[in-house]
Amino acid sequence: MSTVPSDRSQIRNAARLTICLGALLFIAGGTGCASNRYTQTTGERSEDHATSARVSTALAQDPQHVYFEGVKVEAFKEVVQLSGFVNTRELKSRAGDIASAASGGREIRDNITVKQ
């Protein structure tokens, strides 16, 4: 009979270890704060959203904003991308300048196309 309690004790210890390891994996996986080149942390997403909003607002407040209505602003990993269409090269350049000033020093990728 002395082997029965030790077998039960080993089973309990193994069950406790399994539960603890499972909980650890669950907690570690659930908190996944690290990002890679394709994903963002919550903080990065929040900053990029704020940057995108600042640039969009700056474009909308420009006296020539009517011409920037077709310009889309997106930010990802501290890179601001402008895309869409404008009528002249001067408007494309102006949009890039406004984005640079409003973005807080982030990289600007000006993918705006000039209509011809």
Q: What is the pLDDT along the chain (116 residues), one digit of tens a residue?
A: 555 557 777 787 777 777 776 766 666 555 555 667 778 888 889 999 999 999 999 999 999 888 888 899 999 998 999 999 999 999 999 999 999 999 988 899 999 999 98
Q: Say whether pTM exceeds 0.95.
A: no
Q: Which domain holds residue 25?
A: 1-32
Same domain? 25 vs 58: no
The CATH code of the domain that includes 59 is 3.30.70.1770
Quick one: pLDDT at residue 29? Answer: 57
Rg (CA), the chain: 27
- Give the count of beta carbons closer than 10 Å to the beta carbon of residue 58: 19
Domains in the chain, number = 2
- Asked if 104 and 86 sit in the same domain, the reply is yes
H/E segment holding residue 106 = none
User: Rounded to an integer, what distance in angstroms lies between the CA atom of residue 16 and that of residue 108?
Assistant: 53
